[in-house]
Structure 1
Amino acid sequence: MVADFGTGWRYSAAVRLGEPAQPSTEERTLDFAELFPLEAPHCDDPECEDGQCQWQLTPRTADVLYTELCVLVDQAYDDSEELGDKPPVPDEHDGHWEVFACLPKLTFAADLQWRRRFARAADDLAGDLARGQWPEPTCMVEELVLHLAIRGAGDRGDEGYAVGGQGRLPTHRDDYDFDMCSEVFFQDTDVLMLYNARIDGIEDPGGETNQHMGIGDLRAATWFEPFLNVHARDPHSGFRR
């Protein structure tokens, strides 16, 4: 399935042109080469099943994903402050709202608290990477946030990867393999069905199509409910701002 996330949530024009953004104190101190140590491949055979030849989340890939998630955090908080409880209207604000106009339309009625929790979800995933762990979505909103980050990372291109400290990190054949990130980071891609206008209403667990496909409740109010097979986030954690 192909989902069009739009373009509003991408980097500002200055960053896309290669002007480095000013990193926060935390970003300056993170060493992704240490957080995600590399193992040299066992061989050059792409079909090799040796453990060292399996796909790795490399320092460069982790760095780019971390940056994308941090950008999403800031953009989501900025959008939240401007929107409040008002709905984003893409036809009127095309390209103005960085994040929320690019989400499935069923989220447009969300309130300020929902949007701030969305920002915190991006922060939680960035925190996984900052601790040297793979980003693990624990609920549906984190799945969509991570899809957005991977899509943004994949759209950056070679010039985008040069921004920041990428040149200081070791290289590896798995660098920037964001297709594989999409393969391994998610339990399923049900949330992306919400972008498909042909199956409008798929989010309703009482709907015939939903029940036939065994999807479950995809309504926006349930997006923060933790999955049963992962360790849930701390429900009392605060907000960055």
Structure 2
Amino acid sequence: MSVNRKEIQRARMLRYFLDAAIDVMEEDGIDHFTIRKIADKAGFTSSTAYNYFKDLSHLKYFAAMRFTTDYVNELPEYLKKGNNTVESWLYSWECFCKHSFEHPKIYSVIFMDSLGSVPEDLMKYYYQIYQNDILDLPEQIQDIMMEQSFSKRSALYIQSAVDEGFIEQDNVAFIADITLLIWKGMMNTVMNHRRKSTKEEAIQTTLHYVYRNVMGIVVPEKRREINVSF
């Protein structure tokens, strides 16, 4: 069997298990997600499943990624709302918060949970299998979506704001990190029921803090060009 045929066969088996995992997640929920259920649904044994996924967290990660399609498809429209990189980035946060707080457990699996592996490798591997998920996105956005680290993903995008004169280079990594920490903090609060907030309130609170932190590091004379408020 040639290498190409082996790769095709492997990709086919991965899809069998991923399709089964998605069915299990839809039917039983992410809290009742087991290798055995997935293997039974796919028509194979649990040991066969472990030949393709090192542990349950990897399979859960890949299955969760399938539930981000609406976010990926809607993101370009939000980016188009901005008249400059900072505005577009703020709108991208609005899109992300809208979808992540709608499905907090899904986005927690992807961006917060321990995976027992290098997240960047999992993200790239996923998009090798499901390339069509990002083919309709602009090339720049495709490169950003391939980056699993959300703070690095943000930094890649807002780098253009430096060229546009909105942000100093020294602040790129800071604003990417602090805004991610804001989201993680609110997501953790919501998931652990530490505050009585509706989904809409959680979204607005997150966006408000993101906005205030971003505006705090935008070059003062450029702030009047930012016509976004949360």
The two structures have a TM-score, normalised by structure 2, of 0.27
Q: Which protein shows a greater Rg?
A: 2
Structure number with the higher helix fraction is 2
The two structures have a TM-score, normalised by structure 1, of 0.26
Whose RCO is larger (CA < 8 A, sep 6+)? 1
